[in-house]
Amino acid sequence: MNITLTRKEFTRLIELAYIGDWVATAMDGGDDTDAPAVYEKRYGGLMQKLYRLAATGEDGCPQYVETAKDGSDELFPAMRLEDDSPASRAIDKFTNDTFWEELIARMSERDLARETRSDTISPAMPPDALDEQADRRLDQLEDRYRDEFVRNDLENIIVLFGADRLS
């Protein structure tokens, strides 16, 4: 298969590949699964092929690739790609947005579960009405947290550790 790309298109392809590789491997070592090895086996060779084209192709983008410090022929994303590129900015935005959305969703779900356990939602209602009421309440909680975090960031977050409520 032959694909013809301009230098600009190839540079963007490298950025997209970097984003994908970052998503697949960003949490390596965070658990005891074999996911890193699976990702490396599935995508590592293709990433090396793309980085090699970037480093050596006449229409490549060598500023985004560097060789291994140990003298092997393995290629890695250069600091410019990792720290100062549209790809790195997209990753930073994704990470920040994901943090806030996950925090809001988890705190809202926790609060809804606490409210539900304390029977604030009437058990005499039909199941569909309960689902609609719970969805509306979840939306209200999410809006409340979102407004709070937009106004105050994490300033008002306090974590109570176990029995020591003053920690």
pLDDT at 72: 87
Question: Which is nearest to 12 in space by CA: 75, 71, 59?
Answer: 59
Question: Which of the given ranges, 37-41, 112-116, 151-155, has the highest pLDDT on average?
Answer: 151-155
8 Å CB contact between 48 and 17: no
* Encoded amino acid at 87, one letter: A
pLDDT tens-digit readout, 22-58: 998 887 655 556 666 788 888 999 999 999 999 987 7
Q: pLDDT over 70 for what percent of the chain?
A: 83
- How many other C-beta atoms lie within 10 A of the C-beta of residue 102? 10
pLDDT at 71: 80
* Number of Cα atoms under 13 Å in the Cβ half of residue 133: 15
Whole-structure pTM value: 0.77
Question: Which is nearest to 40 in space by CA: 19, 60, 25, 20?
Answer: 25
Domain ranges within the chain, ordered by starting residue: 7-84, 93-152
